Amino acid sequence: LKGPFEKWKLCSAIYPFNSSFFTIAAGNSAFNKKRKEDMKGYLPIYKVWNKPIEPETEKEEKGIDSVKKKIFESFIKECVEKNIKLFIVKSPTYIKQNGVDPYVAEAEKIASHYSVPFFDYSHDLMFISDNGKYFADRSHMNNTGSQLFTEILIKRILDWKTQATGK
């Protein structure tokens, strides 16, 4: 909402995931599509992060963006009102957490208010205890990690559905 390129960014299907104008432009180029394997939106990364886990850097205390919070809550509310089954998932990161992440805590609180399952794997020891072998960098899982995480998440969702319905 703040930059001069917003109207151009909105033309891109990847804008919700990466709002950098030049990243979007490069991602939509024909050259980029030829050099990257794309499986229905999944782009595997085969690199392995070989650096030690580092502590989370201090976050500047600005507070939670009220506009983002309202949009997040509005999205959840609309899904609930339209009986769309929603699961909110925070993916693993290769960062040693210092205390509770206020953004994750707020997202979980909003999800709970609407009785939406919230699965936080952001600092799951299963993923961060193996010296980075599941990550391409601190924030992105590699193909091995993504496959393992997908299997775990599918099982968790199926278990949740079984508990919720008794079937």
Extended beta strands in 39-154, E state:
54-55, 88-90, 95-96, 118-120
Please tell me the distance from the alpha carbon of residue 83 to that of residue 156, in angstroms, as a whole number.
Answer: 21
Residue showing tokens 């960014």 = 9
- Taking the model in full, what pTM does it have? 0.75
The whole-number pLDDT of residue 61 equals 61
- What are the distances in angstroms from CA 40 to CA 21, 30, 43, 92, 138? 23, 17, 8, 22, 24
Per-residue DSSP letter, 84: -
The whole-number pLDDT of residue 3 equals 65
The whole-number pLDDT of residue 73 equals 96
- Phi, psi for 166 (deg, rounded to 5): 75, 10
**Over its length of 167 residues, how does the chain's per-residue pLDDT go in tens digits?**
556 666 655 565 555 555 555 555 555 555 555 555 667 778 889 999 999 888 877 665 667 889 999 999 999 999 999 999 999 999 999 998 888 888 899 999 999 999 999 999 998 888 888 778 999 999 999 999 999 999 999 999 999 988 888 87
The whole-number pLDDT of residue 130 equals 72
Residue showing tokens 């886990």 = 53
